Amino acid sequence: MQEQQQTEKLVVQPNQTSSLLANKTNELAFKSLVIESKPPASQSVLKKPMTSLIIKTKKEYLTNFRSFLNQNLSVNVGLAPKSSSSDAAFSLTKLFINNCDLKKIDPCLCNLVNLTHLDLNSNLLEQLDNLTFRQLQILNASNNKLKSIGDNIVLPKLVSLDLSSNQLIGLTRKFFVNFKSISSIRLNNNQLSYLSDKLGFYLSNLKHFYANNNKLKSVPFSFSYLRLEMLELDNNPFEYNNQHQLQ
């Protein structure tokens, strides 16, 4: 019986192929040559898009995060090629910047177009203004030094706002016009002495209102139009001698 010839099979890497084929003195007779191509390690696992980012220190904010914002801004205006940073601008939905000594909000933040949760707790912010986040639902700016809320605020989907532990003195009609969709607002531990008399008309979706530890002497009569599920007004020097106060 004629013996069957065995076919030898060799698995080589792409960078070894040329040297093997060029070696004419190779004694092996290849009847089957298989080139195995393995992807680079960096491509072997698909990266998941970043959806949440937490910045806890001033140093981290000034270095890594500022660089991220600047690169992302360049991408958005067409000054740089698309990169993973630009992808992050669209995938990021939650951002926490705490204990970073921020005195104002960086306008570049508004390039994070799909942000739904922004936490700026424990900074040094003195004013809340020039904000446009069309997807934002939760905004926490508690434990800052806020003295005023500006008029240039566009947050059409905001449902929860926390301004506790600031230095707010009063909230005018313009403030509430900007937050018509809101259902929960926290104003504890401020210096509030008045609220707009139209509050109850503008915040028709309001369900939870917290304003403990302020200087309120009265509550707008328009409050009676609200369907509140939770109302907290402890530690305020209320006076009940005005017919337009809430009874």
From first to last of the 247 residues of the chain, give the pLDDT tens digit.
444 444 444 444 555 544 544 454 444 443 433 434 445 555 545 567 788 999 999 999 988 887 777 766 554 444 333 444 456 667 899 999 999 999 999 888 888 999 999 999 999 999 999 899 999 999 999 999 999 898 889 999 999 999 999 999 998 888 888 888 999 999 999 999 999 888 889 898 999 999 999 999 999 999 899 999 999 999 999 986 554 444 4
Termini Cα distance of the chain: 111
The neighbour count for residue 87, using CB atoms within 10 Å, is 15
Residue with tokens 């009874």: 247
Full-model pTM: 0.74
Residue with tokens 């008029």: 151
> What is the C-alpha separation between 137 and 141, in angstroms, rounded?
13
